[in-house]
C-alpha cells in the first residue's frame, strides 16, 4: 500500500460473528412469567444470542478477524493497527488485542538472519467505556490512517461483547457478538471526520463496580434521560459544525439514514421512528431543534404542529409526551423516503460517552464494495442457522458461566458440535489463569489446532510429530524440530494462524539453525 496522503478513509471490509446458541424471547417470556410481548414487542427482539461455555469475547474476536482476513484476501502483514472495543473484562491488565496477536505472528520467534518473521509491528490496544468502546476503537483507527503517523497499512477494528445480566427484568436485554472492520483509504463507507460531535460527562447510569462479577448496576430511568441529554448536546454541536463547514444549516433532510445506538429499547427495523419510542424521541429532538433554529427543511405544516411546544425548556422537552407525538407525525414522511448516501450515527456509552458522526456511502470496488460486504457478512443466513435452546438449558449455562467468571484451573467440555468449521473456542483455563483456545477443524479434516511437524524426504512425508495446543511455545517448536534428522521440515501452525491453507516452510541445518522461512 502507498503511504501518500490518504483520501476517502473509512470502512473497506466487515465481518460479523455471533454464537450459534440463542433463546427465543417469546419462550423466555413465558418461562419468566412476563406479560406477553414484554420481551418481543417491548424490546423489539425475537431472539437473544448468548455464549456457551466454549465461547467468549476472545474466541469470537479471533473468529471474526480470521474470517475477515480470509474472505477479503488480506495479508496479515498489511495490518498496521489493531484496536479492540469491549466492556467485557476477562483480564484487568492484559488486553483482548494481545490475544489476537498470534494470528499475525506465525512462528514469530523463529529467527532468520537475525530477523523476526510474521507481523508484531501492530499498534493499538483496547478501548473500554460501556457500549462506546467500539466507537472509540473505530475512531482511533480512522484517525491513525488520516494522520502523519500512518505507514500505509490497514487498520483493523474489533468490537465485541458478551452482555449478560443477573436473573430479573434486565436479563433478556443481553446478547453476544464480534464485528471486525478493515480501515483504509478509498473506502465504500467514508468517514466525514470533520462532522463529528461528542458529549462526555460523569454519571452513574450503568456501571460495573464489582470486579468479581460481570453483572452491572443499572439505573434505567437515569440512563434514558442521560441518553436524550447526550443526544441533544451532540446534535446541537453537530449542527454548528455542519453550518461552519457547509455554509448552511443542517436539518434531518440533509441525511438519508439515521442509525442510533439502542440501549434497552426496541431495535428499529427499516424505519427507526415507527416502532421505537426512544427513537421517536430521538427524532423528536432533531426535528424540535430544527424547528427552534428555523431550519428550512421544516415546512409550514410541521411548524404549525410544533409551535405549541416552542416555550418548553430542554428538560421539559425530554419528558413531553405531546411533543413526542407531534414530532412523530412530522418525522414519519421524512423516513418513508429513504434514498441517498449520507448516514448519521449516534453512539452512546453509559457513564457517559456519546458521539454523533457522519458517513458517506459509495459502491466501491471489489473486494472492498458495499455489495461484497453484504454478501460476505450474510447476516440473515447466519441468524437462521442458529440453534435455539430451551429456557432451562439457557439458565443452566448462565449459572455455569457465573460460577466460572474469574475462575481458574478448569477444562471446558470442548463441545464444538454446533460451531461452524474455522470457529475458535475455549478449551481450558489453567491454574495460572492462562486461557487456551483451539480452532474447529475444516470439514475436509484439516487439522486446526496445535502444531504438526512433517518430516520430508524427497518430497514425501516420512513421519509426523504432533505438538498439543497448550504447549504451543517457541521452545516446544524447537523440541519438535530436534526430534528428526532431515534438513527439510514442513510446519503447519494452525492454532491461531490466519489461514489453514498457509504453511510455514523451514530449512534447518544439523544444529537446528533456521536459514530461511517463508509463508506460502
Could you give the 3-state DSSP secondary structure of residue 376?
Answer: helix
Catalytically annotated residue among 29, 83, 87, 214: 87
Grid cell listed for 107:
512462528
For residue 144, what is the enclosing H or E element? helix 133-146
CA distance 238 to 379: 31
- The CB-side HSE value for 80 (13 A sphere, CA atoms) comes to 15
Burial class of residue 316 (count of CB atoms within 10 Å of its CB; 0-12, 13-18, 19+): exposed
Catalytically annotated residue among 141, 234, 239, 261: 261
CA distance 187 to 370: 9
Grid cell listed for 381:
443466513
Grid cell listed for 193:
471526520
Catalytically annotated residue among 51, 131, 159, 234: 131
**87 belongs to the catalytic site:** yes
Cell 437473544 locates to 48
Is 93 assigned to a binding site? no
Is 223 assigned to a binding site? yes
Which among 461, 457, 495 has a CA at the least distance from the CA of 476? 495
CA distance 288 to 308: 11
- In what order do the strands lie in the sheet containing 154-163? 126-127, 79-85, 154-163, 175-184, 10-17, 189-200, 353-361, 342-349, 257-260
Residue 304's CB is within 10 A of a number of other CB atoms, namely 11
Per-residue CA distances from 118 to 111, 220, 518 (Å): 11, 47, 9
CA distance 441 to 448: 5
**Beta-bridge mates of residue 176:** 162
Contacts with 248 (C-beta within 8 Å, 6 or more apart), sequence order: none
Burial class of residue 498 (count of CB atoms within 10 Å of its CB; 0-12, 13-18, 19+): buried
Which among 262, 229, 197 has a CA at the least distance from the CA of 352? 229
Residue 269's CB is within 10 A of a number of other CB atoms, namely 10
Give, in degrees to the nearest 5, the angle at Cα 362 between 66 and 261. 65
Q: Which residues are annotated as a binding site for CoA?
A: 223, 266
Question: What are the catalytic residues?
Answer: 87, 131, 261
Return binding residues.
223, 266
Amino acid at each position: 500500500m502507498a503511504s501518500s496522503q490518504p483520501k476517502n478513509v473509512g470502512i473497506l471490509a466487515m465481518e460479523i460473528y455471533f454464537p450459534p446458541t440463542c433463546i427465543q424471547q417469546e419462550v423466555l417470556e413465558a418461562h419468566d412469567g412476563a406479560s406477553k410481548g414484554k420481551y418481543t414487542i417491548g424490546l423489539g427482539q425475537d431472539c437473544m444470542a448468548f455464549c456457551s461455555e466454549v465461547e467468549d469475547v476472545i474466541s469470537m474476536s479471533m473468529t471474526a478477524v480470521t474470517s475477515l482476513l480470509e474472505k477479503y484476501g488480506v495479508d496479515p502483514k498489511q495490518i498496521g493497527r489493531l484496536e479492540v472495543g469491549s466492556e467485557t473484562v476477562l483480564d484487568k491488565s492484559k488486553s483482548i488485542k494481545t490475544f489476537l496477536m498470534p494470528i499475525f505472528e506465525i512462528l514469530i520467534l523463529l529467527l532468520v538472519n537475525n530477523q523476526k518473521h510474521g507481523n508484531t509491528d501492530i499498534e493499538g490496544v483496547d478501548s473500554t467505556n460501556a457500549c462506546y468502546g467500539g466507537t472509540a476503537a473505530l475512531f482511533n483507527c480512522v484517525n491513525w490512517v488520516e494522520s502523519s503517523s500512518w505507514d500505509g497499512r490497514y487498520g483493523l477494528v474489533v468490537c465485541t461483547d458478551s452482555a449478560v445480566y443477573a436473573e430479573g427484568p434486565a436479563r433478556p436485554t443481553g446478547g453476544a457478538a464480534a464485528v471486525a472492520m478493515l480501515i483504509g483509504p478509498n473506502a465504500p463507507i467514508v468517514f466525514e471526520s470533520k462532522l463529528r460531535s461528542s458529549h462526555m460527562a460523569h454519571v452513574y447510569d450503568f456501571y460495573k463496580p464489582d470486579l468479581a462479577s460481570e453483572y452491572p448496576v443499572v439505573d434505567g430511568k437515569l440512563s434514558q434521560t442521560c441518553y436524550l441529554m447526550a443526544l441533544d448536546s451532540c446534535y446541537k454541536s453537530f449542527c454548528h459544525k455542519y453550518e461552519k463547514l457547509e455554509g448552511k444549516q443542517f436539518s434531518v433532510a440533509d441525511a438519508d439514514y439515521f442509525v442510533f445506538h439502542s440501549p434497552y429499547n426496541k431495535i428499529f427495523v427499516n424505519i427507526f421512528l415507527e416502532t421505537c419510542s426512544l427513537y421517536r424521541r430521538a427524532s423528536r429532538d432533531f426535528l424540535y431543534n430544527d424547528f427552534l433554529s428555523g431550519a428550512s427543511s421544516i415546512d409550514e405544516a410541521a411548524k404549525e404542529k410544533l409551535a405549541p411546544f416552542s416555550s418548553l425548556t430542554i428538560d421539559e422537552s425530554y419528558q413531553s409526551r405531546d411533543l413526542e407525538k407531534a414530532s412523530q407525525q412530522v418525522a414519519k414522511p421524512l423516513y418513508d423516503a429513504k434514498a441517498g448516501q449520507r448516514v448519521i450515527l449516534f453512539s452512546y456509552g453509559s457513564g457517559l460517552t456519546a458521539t454523533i458522526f457522519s458517513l458517506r456511502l459509495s459502491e466501491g470496488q471489489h473486494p472492498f464494495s458495499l455489495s461484497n460486504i453484504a454478501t460476505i457478512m450474510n447476516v440473515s443466513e447466519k441468524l437462521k442457522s442458529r440453534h435455539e435452546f430451551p429456557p432451562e438449558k439457557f439458565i443452566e449455562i448462565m449459572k455455569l458461566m457465573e460460577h466460572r467468571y474469574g475462575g481458574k484451573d478448569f477444562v471446558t467440555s470442548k463441545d464444538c458440535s454446533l460451531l461452524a468449521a474455522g470457529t475458535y473456542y475455549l478449551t481450558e483455563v489453567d491454574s495460572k489463569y492462562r486461557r487456551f483456545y483451539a480452532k474447529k477443524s475444516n470439514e475436509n479434516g484439516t487439522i486446526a489446532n496445535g502444531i504438526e511437524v512433517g518430516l520430508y524426504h524427497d518430497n514425501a512425508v516420512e513421519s509426523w510429530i504432533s505438538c498439543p495446543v497448550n504447549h504451543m511455545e517457541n521452545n516446544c517448536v524447537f523440541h519438535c524440530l530436534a526430534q528428526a534428522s532431515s534438513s527439510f521440515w514442513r510446519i503447519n501452525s494452525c492454532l491461531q494462524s490466519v489461514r489453514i491453507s498457509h504453511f510455514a516452510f523451514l530449512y534447518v541445518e544439523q544444529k537446528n539453525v533456521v536459514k530461511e522461512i517463508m509463508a506460502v
